[in-house]
Amino acid sequence: MRIGHISDLHILELDKPRPQQFLNKRLVGGLNLLLNRSNAHSTEVVQRALEHLDSLDVDHIAISGDLTNLALDSEFAAAEKIVSSIPDAADRVSVVPGNHDYYTPGAVRERRFEKHFANFLHSDLPQYQGDDGYPFCHLRGDVAIIGMNSGIATPWLFATGRVGDEELEQTRLLLQDPEVEKRFKLVLIHHPLLPDDHHSMQFNRRLLNSEEVLRTLRTRDVDLVLHGHNHYFSVFRLPKLGTPGTTFICEAGSTSVQAIGDDPAMAGKFNIYTIEDGELQEVETHLFESHEAGFIPWQTEVFRHQIREE
């Protein structure tokens, strides 16, 4: 089983928003976006990544949130179109929301993310879904993919996340279901569970209950956690709690980044995870080189890992 991981697409679609949509929090986000982000992220780069993944024998594609910038309907429509263009998308894609997909209370209230990505949010074990549809579970071969929601509408200039108490409890139960227990367990969530080389767990952009979530996943035998949010490549491994084995925690970075600075960890990227015999065998990372060359292989194998003991 090979799973492709893309994230933080931040699809720009600024043609249609009405001026009043930029009031309040969106004014800041919109200006910030225009000043900093419009040159950094490219929808074309996302399309190149998907073409590349298509040629690399990938069974499934996981998308760890922030598909939009301002959670506008027009952005969701553009993101939905791209995701739906993946061959056999309804069976081969798992996607969870990020903080940018829950950018305003209105976007959360109207469930814009859930409406646009409804095709990808069905659960094979619906008895564990809360009222908001999370956690969902996709059983694919010998892998169980569990989608969690860490998105919340936040105050101005905040990008924090939180997994709700009910969702965490339902996830605990889901992870004990025999159909899940016997499989390789992969959790997809937007916010990071650990600090990396470039990001501490800053108070205004962290997962508020990261310790509790991480402890739960390690205690419940989770093999691999995929996240986004930091726009930075990282692979960590931690011992599971109460059972032998390793919980890997991985981020590819933002797939849509077209401007390459000095640090390749910041370049546009996707990962491919090879899972065999119930274990993660390999992490293969490709990065965006140029519009001419597209994506090129960067690293293969699990590397830059750090073992962190509690």
The contact pattern for Fe ion, residues 222-241, with x = CB under 5 A and - = no contact, is -------x------------
CB nearer to Fe ion: pick between 86 and 257: 257
Q: Find the part of the chain contacting Fe ion (CB under 5 A) among 1-9, 16-24, 36-44, 210-218.
A: 1-9
Cβ proximity to Fe ion: between 129 and 192 the closer is 192
- In the beta sheet, which residues pair with residue 283? 273
101 makes contact with Fe ion (CB under 5 A): no
* Per-residue CA distances from 177 to 4, 21, 181, 248 (Å): 25, 43, 6, 21
Of residues 242-301, which lie at the interface with Fe ion (CB under 5 A)? none
- Residue 29 or 135 with smaller CB distance to Fe ion: 29
Please list, residue by residue across 23-32, b when 16 or more beta carbons sit within 10 angstroms of its beta carbon and e when fewer do.
eebbeebbee
Of 164 and 239, CB closest to Fe ion: 164
Other beta carbons less than 10 A from residue 76's beta carbon: 21
Q: What is the DSSP letter of 186?
A: E
* Total residues binding Fe ion (CB under 5 A): 5
Question: Is residue 183 involved in binding Fe ion (CB under 5 A)?
Answer: no
Residues 55-84 that bind Fe ion (CB under 5 A): 66
User: What tokens appear for 243 in the block?
Assistant: 């059972």
Residue 44: helix, strand or coil by DSSP?
helix
Residue 8 touching Fe ion (CB under 5 A): yes
Nearest to 143 by CA among 65, 61, 69, 210: 61
Q: Where do contacts with Fe ion occur on this chain (CB under 5 A)?
A: 8, 66, 98-99, 229
